[in-house]
Amino acid sequence: MSDYRVPPEHAHPVTRVISACVGFGDITPYIAVGGDMMGKPITTRQQHKQFLRRNKLVELGTEPVKDTSRMRSTVKKGDVREAMRAAIAEHTRPDTRRGGLIERRR
């Protein structure tokens, strides 16, 4: 503290304040409404992460959901239809007695 000096232009006394850095607190405890801990409290961040992992859940943030209606499709119109027709033709044959298709034997 002795190495800290107040500049001479300050007429009022100045004190040096040393405080801990601000960080994120632990999560607010909550009661699980589903999964393997249904009805039980989850009180720590570690319990929360393990609960999500065990129940194959994903935590969503506070970011707004982006509008996907204006995104360009990576598949051209008709490509899926043609791919399905080709796969059906490759792996099946017509069933003349009952109608429909039969899986081809390899």
Percent of the chain with pLDDT over 90: 24
Residue 1 pLDDT greater than 60, yes or no:
no
Residue located via tokens 């707004």: 64
Residue with more model confidence, 70 or 43: 43
pTM, full prediction:
0.40
Q: Is the dihedral of CA 57, 63, 68, 69 positive or negative?
A: positive
Contact 62, 41 (CB under 8 A): no
Q: Where are the domains of the chain?
A: 24-59
* Chain-centre distance for alpha carbon 31: 20
